[in-house]
Structures are given as C-alpha cells and as structure tokens.
Structure 1
Amino acid sequence: MSGNTLEQLRQFTTVVADTGDFESMRQYKPTDATTNPSLILAAAKLPQYESIINKAVDYGKANGSDVSVTMDYLCVLFGMEILKIIPGRVSTEVDARLSYDKEASVAKARQLIKLYEANGIGKDRVLIKLATTWEGIEAAKELEAEGIHCNMTLLFSFAQAVACADANVTLISPFVGRIYDWYVAKTGIKTYADPFEDPGVQSVTRIYNYYKKHDYKTVVMGASFRNVSEIKCLSGCDLLTISPSLLAELSNETQVPLVRNLSPEKAKQLPETGDYVKVHFDEATFRSALSADQMADEKLKEGIEKFSADVIKLENDIKERLAKA
C-alpha cells in the first residue's frame, strides 16, 4: 500500500473531476474533466468567472446578440480554461433540449468542435456529451464516424450501454448515484451492509464486465457518486468522475489499502451466460427495454428536464447581459 486512497485509485483508474471549478482541478490534478449545464450555471454565478462570462457576451454582441451563439462560446471558453489545467480531455455537453433530435444534436456538436478548433483546440481533446436517448446514440454514431468523440451521459440501463457500444461511442457515463437515489426513494434503504449490493454499483459492474468480456472499445466512466464506498467498489473501472467533496474525502483517507475490484482479466473469466450473453438492440427493442425499466426511464427523463431547466436559467442570464452590454 502506498499513498492515500485517491493516489491508490489512480494506479488503475483514470480520475476525472466532476466540477466546473478550476481551483478544485488545480488541487486534485485529475486527468480529464467533465462539465454539464448545472455545473456551468453554478460556476457562472461566482465572481471569479466573471471575465469568462464577459468574454462570451462580447463574442455574442459581435455576432448579432445571438443567445445560442453566446451560449456555445461560453461552454467552449469554460472548456478551454479547463484544458489549461488538465492534461487530458474535457467533456462539453450538447443542449439537453436537443436530446430527442438527432440532426440538431449532430449540428450542435459540429458547431462546438468548430469553435474549439478556431481557438486552437483539436477535437482529440474534446468529448461531446449527449444524453443516452435513441436519438442521442444515433447522433453519436454519426459523429464518431467523423472522428468526433462522444461521452454518453444520463445512462442508467444495460440496454443504453449495449446500444452505445454497438454505436462505437468513445465513452459512457453511467450514473451510479442517481440509480442509488431512485432505489432509496422506492425502498428507504440508504446504507448497504455489503456496499457491492448498491444498485448503482451493480449496474456499472455489469456494464463494465460485459464490455470487457466482449472486447468493446467503448470505455466506462462511472459518474454521479453519493459516497466513497461506491467509488471503492468500482476501483479499476476505466474512468471515474468524482466531485470535489468526494475527491477530498479520498485524498484525506490514509492507511487504508484499496484493492482493484474491476479488471479486463476478471471479466474475461466470466461465463457467457445470464448477464453476459451478447445481445443487440435495434430501435424497437431499445425503446421497449427502456420503457420496461421504470428506474432508467424515469431518471433519463428527469435528467433531461433538469439539465434543460438549467440551460434555460443560464440563457436568461445571458439574455440580460446581452441586453445591458
């Protein structure tokens, strides 16, 4: 054993910062970083980011005071600042209101990449985040074929994960904590004597093992954690995106050996039966499987609604700033 729990975790998992706060990134030194509308909305309210907001507003004014153009540039500016801090990739999210519109999602992704490239950032350092609807997966399939790499978010089910792998997306972000939240609300169980029984942990473990068992190139980034036990249970997952508060908890924990729970070698040894039989989902079977999974169906819709609401709040702030500029 060497180092604190966070240092041990880094030996076999890529650590990603789930925050829009630059200082947290400087402190915990993640490889990658991921943002979403809620994180950017929160950051935009803080005085230390005022210069970024003003730069986006100036750009918007120079382009006809177009709110959409300003919003896109704001997201890219945040991404550019993050890339000055981290060595890896930043995830930039497509407007959640486009989650059920494939063509609009593709167009928005291309526009974001174009803005990055105009500012000297190659598409190899950017992941485009899309909600894991059928339309989002189809958009990602088209974008990946063009060399634009995608991060599929709001992922709660095995069917979503399999469809993403079949579409050759770069990365998926299954939401451990939100799965846990749903089961807490339904069962009242908040603590598991065996942390591996946490439904979010079980979901990601199954997805990871299925991917490695069948040699998919898509990688798994566990997301949305509620406690460090969930993170430890998924040690060895390709990537884990972790909030600053939980990064701090892991960093402060010392003298506790961390074992690797997930690995390609372990997955390969699993029998191709039950959860690990290779399957395929077309549009009809995907929609059927998703609607039959109450938790995944509810959390996907809820997530899209929440992100959309935060986009609207941020837009309203930008509209006011453009009017005053």
Structure 2
Amino acid sequence: MTSILDQLRTMTTVVADTGELAAVRKHKPIDCTTNPSLVLKAFDAADSRAVLEAEIERGRASGQDPAAIAAALPIALGVELSKLIPGRISTEVEANLSFDAKASVARALEIVEAYAARGVGTDRILIKLAATWEGIRAAEVLQRQGIDCNLTLIFSLTQAIASADAGAFLISPFVGRITDWFKKAEGVDSYAAAKDPGVLSVRAIYDYYKSNGISTIVMGASFRNVEQIKALAGCDNLTISPALLEELGSEAGVLPLALSNEAAAPTLRQTIDAPKFRWDVAIDPMANELLANGIRGFDQDFRTMLGVLDR
C-alpha cells in the first residue's frame, strides 16, 4: 500500500516548508517557500549553511552592508532550491514594509531583478507579502505586471477575500497558529481534526473560493500534526515541514479526500473595501493578534540575521 504522503500527492500539490536543501532533495516537493525564520533554521543544515556562508562572504567582499547581505540570503537559498524542484520559490518582502504598499512593490521588483541576475525567471518565483491591506494592494500592482504573489499570514476569511479580489496568485492561511490561539483561549489541549479551528478556517476559505469560481490557490500552512494535514487532503497546496513529511511518508493506510471543488459548500460572494477590511481584522481578536505577531516575528528573525552578520 502506498504511503499517506504518496496518496496526498495525488490530491494536493505538496510544498516543502523548509530551506534545508537535503530535506528538499529527499522529499521532492513541487514548490518551496522561504522566510527569515526558515533561513535561520537553514544555518543548522550543512549544505544549506554552505550556500548561506558563501553568500555572506561574497557580500562582504563586495562591500555590502549587513542589511543588504541579509536581504540577499533568502534569494541565494531560493536559487539553490529552484535547482531541486520543478515549481516555484516563494520569497518574502521584508516584514517592516508590511504597511507600505509602494515600498513593498519596489522591494518586490528588486527581488525579481536579483533572481533574474542569477538566472531564475519570474515564472519560477512567488513574491511573498503579509496580507495587510497595504500588502494586498502591493500584490494587486505586482499581479498586473505579471509578477505572481503569495499573500501570507492569512488568519481570516476577510483577508482571503480581499486577496482574491486583488488577483493574488496564492494565499497561505496558517492552520497551526490559529489552532494554538484557540487552544490557549479556550483552555483545551487538542481538537479533533474535524473541529480544529485552524482546519475549519482553511475549509471556509476553500469553500468560498471554489463555490465562487475564484482561481487563487489556497495553500494551507503552519501545521502542528499530520491529522490537520489529512483533514485538508484535496486542498490546492499544502506546505509541510520535513518532520511531518517524514511522518506522512512512513504511515500506511487509506487517505480519504477531504476537499474538492464539487463538494465545496456554496458561500455568498462579498466585497471587501479598506474600511471593512480594517474593521473585520480589528474586531477579530485572533486575526488581529496573530497578524501583528506574525509580522513582528518575521521582522525579529530578520533582525537576528542582521545580528549574526554584525559579528
């Protein structure tokens, strides 16, 4: 019998949530994603660390300051990852630009140019932006220029709707972080997969998109256990850590299809403008807190990289 992971691959595009080259070689995902957190973790893997250290040395030799070198590290790693996969690399616009649409567009164009200089075209990358109102507006501009975007830190249906209205290529709703928030708020240790708040959030977004003919890809992210992943089998994409890929690859059994276009629950189409977006996020304590925490976390990891380079 084929493994759960092999069965999942027939239903869903599997993405590796790692910057570790060895893990990507082993698990053979279609796409990969990078962010400051994953770059920091990649320093712990010998082959990935070698790529990052070589980039640091090149940057220092050419007189670049630490901020410029830190900004280049995800791109250097992304180039190497692109050699191992058939799909795309998501590369993040720095979190401190999350509330500046114009600066986010400018930085995204720099990322595109940096990849092009290393032989990687726009068809192989996704520009990753935090799903603030400004991040969504930046994605709208970039999509019109033919640059596909991944809107990340999605914690609410409102963010997902606004992202689709902007023509985003892909969104990343964060399953595990939502689950963690509700576990703490409700004082519970765990949820059955069918009642897991993170899983239910992705299902609601998936149903909205599919029942309204929206082409934006839904990529579930930030998983805490394999049961969450199984409960979203059939979702367009799922980005999964190496540890959970290992677990899925070693498990036998039958994986039922959980999501499909045909079974999507009909959902009324909405329009999200700036006041509604800001209001909906502001009055949702989970989405409000997790969006802010996510931006702070990515920014802190970028600053940690800067600290390493300042030594």
Normalising TM by the smaller chain, what interval? Answer: over 0.9
- SS of 1:264's equivalent in the other structure is coil
**C-alpha separation in 2, matches of 1:149 and 1:211:** 18
CA offsets per residue over residues 153-209 of structure 1, 9 Å max, x none? 1110000000000000000000000000000111122223x4211001110001001
Unaligned runs of 5+ in 1: 321-325
Indicate if the aligned counterparts of 1:33 and 1:82 stay in contact, CA closer than 8 A: yes
Report what 1:175 is aligned to.
174
2:259 to 245, 251, 262: 262
TM-score by length of 2: 0.97
**C-alpha separation in 1, matches of 2:227 and 2:50:** 38
1:32-51 map, 5 Å: 32-51=31-50
1:92 aligns with 2:91: yes
Instruction: Give, as a single letter, the amino acid of the residue that structure 2 aligns with 1:147.
Output: G
1:315 aligns with 2:311: no
Deviates more, 1:70-79 or 1:123-132: 70-79
Instruction: Give, as a single letter, the amino acid of the residue that structure 1 aligns with 2:167.
Output: N
**C-alpha separation in 1, matches of 2:49 and 2:268:** 52
**C-alpha separation in 2, matches of 1:62 and 1:143:** 33
Indicate if the aligned counterparts of 1:16 and 1:240 stay in contact, CA closer than 8 A: yes
How far is 1:49 from its partner? 3.4
Indicate if the aligned counterparts of 2:19 and 2:48 stay in contact, CA closer than 8 A: no
How far is 1:46 from its partner? 4.5
**C-alpha separation in 2, matches of 1:294 and 1:284:** 17
1:106 aligns with 2:105: yes
Report what 2:53 is aligned to.
54
CA offsets per residue over residues 249-298 of structure 1, 9 Å max, x none? 111101x111111111112xx34xxxx11101100110000001110000
- SS of 1:302's equivalent in the other structure is helix
How far is 1:63 from its partner? 4.4
Percent identical among aligned pairs is 48
1:246 aligns with 2:244: yes
Instruction: Give, as a single letter, the amino acid of the residue that structure 2 aligns with 1:32.
Output: D
Indicate if the aligned counterparts of 2:78 and 2:89 stay in contact, CA closer than 8 A: yes
How far is 1:28 from its partner? 1.0
* Aligned residue pairs, count: 311
How far is 1:60 from its partner? 2.2
Q: What is the RMSD computed on CA atoms of the aligned residues?
A: 1.3
1:299 aligns with 2:297: no
TM-score by length of 1: 0.93
Deviates more, 1:43-52 or 1:223-232: 43-52
CA offsets per residue over residues 187-234 of structure 1, 9 Å max, x none? 122223x42110011100010011011111101000000111110110
Indicate if the aligned counterparts of 2:21 and 2:47 stay in contact, CA closer than 8 A: no
How far is 1:50 from its partner? 3.9
1:278 to 257, 269, 272: 269
Instruction: Give, as a single letter, the amino acid of the residue that structure 2 aligns with 1:219.
Output: I
**C-alpha separation in 1, matches of 2:48 and 2:223:** 26
Indicate if the aligned counterparts of 1:56 and 1:71 stay in contact, CA closer than 8 A: no
- SS of 2:90's equivalent in the other structure is strand
How far is 1:59 from its partner? 3.4
Unaligned runs of 5+ in 2: none
**C-alpha separation in 2, matches of 1:220 and 1:75:** 23
